[in-house]
Structure 1
Amino acid sequence: MENKIALITGATSGIGKACALILAKMGFDIIATGRRQDRLEDLGKELAPGVRFLPLVFDVREREKVGQILGSLPSDWSAIDVLINNAGNAHGMDPIQTGSLDDWDAMMDINVKGLLYVSKAIIPGMTQRNSGMIINIGSIAGKEVYPNGNVYCGSKHAVDAITKGMRIDLNPFGIKVIAIHPGLVETEFSLVRFKGDESRAESVYKGFVPLYAQDIADIVEFVVNRPAHVVLADIVVLPTAQASATLVNKNPAK
């Protein structure tokens, strides 16, 4: 019996990489996408033995390239059972009046349009087979808006709305659509947001225990293992120290 196939975007680090590793352990063959070829090659070496691996190097914001690469998958890779739209980013924390247009474009192009480009390429196969699962990695920023989060929050609210729309439109085809909205997860996220400022990025996670990429991968494992009649449609997950997008109990009493 052939393994099922999972496609994970943004699989070169953080949540995407953790999801690829755990799905491989579950017996899925893995299609991993990302912009850094060396990171994808390293991921391939870490996967469970016996798992087929197809690394695809592209940027999800490049519409033509996404369509070309995902539209020409080898026949033995084309029947994708699980799609994890994980690729995303945050750039800057400026108030709206001084925000960077380049930062805004990057967030909307990757977080929203990139998710749509990849989904557009994969969904038709799922509807033809009347089966499949789509997991969109959102954010607590898709449920709340916080100071200086303006466009990033807008992009993640869009992910939340698009996920709900997908669930409605794909319901007749038996396709499960799930959103996972994490709070503070210690990955490269803050390093990207603060444009490589390591001290500022590290300060985000000091004084409390954040979520880790593996925590989100564990949720993905649980979601994927649910019976056919069960879908965990909308999941918000926070570290214990976090109560909302902006309220974090740092340096809690022991």
Structure 2
Amino acid sequence: MFSALRGYRCIAITNRGTSKEKVQQLYAYGAEVVVTASGVPTDSPVHCQNVEKQLVEENPGYFGLNQYDSPLNPEAYYATLGPELWAQTNGKITHLVAAGSTGGTVSGTARFLKKKNQAIQVIMPDPHGSIFYDWWAHRKLVKPTSFEGLDLSLIDVMPRFSDEQAFATCRTIARRMGMMVGGSAGGNVHAALTLARKLKGPATVVAILCDSGTKYLSKIFNDEWMASKGYNVAAMDASAANRSAR
């Protein structure tokens, strides 16, 4: 979007695990898209981060955003989302629930909020199979990685969740709230609801809805794709219908 507004040539680098809607959206904005291998370690030359670095090194005039490691990523949220949440809750926020991803949202927002009130709890839901929990809980890396934008020292709780729980929550939100959100947002809401059920006093829990479900129409909201992955969509949707009827 920014490149289209400014007239820049944009080369977007992603991997084969990216939904077709995301790739099509990039093409719609006029970007060139480079699709790399998925599931490779970050020290692999074909990992998307390293492909970006190579393109920048080999082409004078290219600028790489370096999303995973750029300190500007969390700084953007420190300057924007953090103050916004503090103002909109009148300083009453008690819990922030935000996924890890590339680190900017949870790190920048948490740093601002904890500067305002150190007692605010930061919850970073982490899906099973992710590397973050092992590093946060045991200082153990499962595979080589780089996430300089993510400050795990700010995280108070890191609950685990399954893809099935996140996807079921996405489908429930669509049917109950009329909102389309993606898997990371579904994981955040699942964790926030689990937390809310355990709280014994007044609290203001903010969950970040960080991605749009329109980018996952061919996956999370596609019954055939869900069934091909072994998910019981009938049970998911029946549960969502029961909640809506309450």
TM-score, normalization by structure 2:
0.31
More strand by share: 1
Q: Which has the larger radius of gyration?
A: 2
TM-score, normalization by structure 1:
0.31
